[in-house]
Amino acid sequence: VIGESADNDYTPEQKKKKVPNSSTNSYFNSDDGDHDGIYELPNFDDISSLEEQYVTVNKPVDFVNIENTPGKFALSVHKNNVNTYILFLLLVNNKTLLNYLAYIKVEVMKISDVQQQILDQLSNIDAQRQYSNISTMLSEEIDYFVSTWPISTQCQLDDLENRLQNEDGFKNKVVNELIRVGGKTLKDMIYKIMRKVLTDTILKEFTYFGLRNKNNFSILLLNKAIFDAIRKSKFKNSTDEEIIAIIGKWLTTSKSRLEKKNVTAQ
């Protein structure tokens, strides 16, 4: 009877369940012991960096147990220090986040440097290509002006007129070449231009307006190019009459200049 009474009063001790903490994947005991609910931190690879971070944050955290195993360790803390524990986790996670951000920043800077190098190389290639094209164009222009001018035949003059009419940009090149001739006076500049472009052999076949059964110089595109060159020079305020008179005088005296050259040559 005594045994039966004792058996009836006996209540088996129930195992305390561990309740998972979903936010940290930690566990605490539901009983009240010396350590009111043991929380376990996530695993970390570097114990020294964690301790250093902890010491600078909050000293009251109670390190009940540190288990150092290869590749991980666990830290236990009292339940009454939950706020400190949460702050500690946030700071550790923030440090990890900052490390990742610093790494990303370095990688982005590397990518930016590589992109800048590529852009610089493309810019250099483009500049070299443009320089090559300009050099080729200048070379062709110089060859043309040096090898063709002064013009001595009607065929060469016709070729110049065709290029002035049909080639885009060629007129501007001719005008710029004429501007470079320069001169102290308007008369000096026009005479130097005429001497540079045309020989007396071809000029003696022209008068400015085509009088006396001569060819009409005023209708040539070359004549217009001469006007444009003067308008872009320091003599830009000169009148059309002044320019026409000087060109006309040079044309009418071409025959006498040619005769003098022939006499000198003999």
pLDDT digit string, tens, across residues 25-78: 444 444 444 444 444 444 444 444 444 444 433 444 443 343 444 433 344 444
pLDDT at 92: 64
* Selection from 41-45, 134-138, 150-154 with the highest mean pLDDT: 150-154
The whole-angstrom separation of Cα 56 and Cα 186 is: 89
pLDDT range class, residue 228, cuts 50, 70, 90: very high
Range of the structural domain that residue 67 is part of? 14-89
Whether residue 171 sits in one domain with residue 257: yes
Distance, in Å, from the CA atom of 24 to the CA atom of 39, rounded to the nearest integer, reads 9
> What is the C-alpha end-to-end distance of the chain, expressed in Å?
165
* Number of separate domains in the chain: 2
Q: Give the span between the Cα atoms of 176 and 185, in whole angstroms.
A: 18
In contact, 248 and 197? CB cutoff 8 Å: no
Q: State residue 168's pLDDT score.
A: 86
DSSP-derived 3-state class of residue 18: strand
Quick check: 155 pLDDT over 70?
Answer: yes
Within a domain: 117: no
Of 69, 89, 109, the domain-final residue: 89
- 170-179 and 82-148 are packed helices; what angle lies between their axes, rounded to 10 degrees? 70
In terms of domains, do 164 and 85 share one? no
* Token code pair at residue 67: 């288990």
> Is 121 contained in some domain?
no
Q: pLDDT at residue 17 above 60? A: no
Q: Within a domain: residue 129?
A: no
Instruction: Outline where the chain has alpha helix (H).
Output: 2-9, 47-55, 82-148, 154-166, 170-179, 186-197, 200-203, 221-231, 240-252, 254-265
Is residue 260 in some structural domain? Answer: yes
CA dihedral sign of residues 140, 142, 145, 147? negative
Is 168 domain-assigned?
A: yes
Instruction: Please name which of 28, 44, 20 lies closest in space to residue 80, comparing C-alpha atoms.
Output: 28
On whether residue 119 sits in a domain, the answer given is no
Domain boundary among 89, 104, 122: 89
Per the CB < 8 A criterion, the answer to whether 214 and 206 are in contact is yes
Does residue 258 form part of some domain?
A: yes
According to DSSP, the residues that pair with 229 across neighbouring strands are none
Q: Is residue 128 part of a domain?
A: no
Q: Are 159 and 170 in contact (CB under 8 A)?
A: no
Q: Mark which of 89, 110, 141 sits at the end of a domain.
A: 89
Residue with tokens 């994947």: 25
Distance of CA 80 to the CA centre of its chain: 60
82 — pLDDT class (breaks 50, 70, 90):
low
Same domain, 85 and 158: no
Position 120 confidence tier, pLDDT thresholds 50, 70, 90: confident
Q: Identify whether residues 159 and 261 lie together within a single domain.
A: yes
CA distance 89 to 197: 89
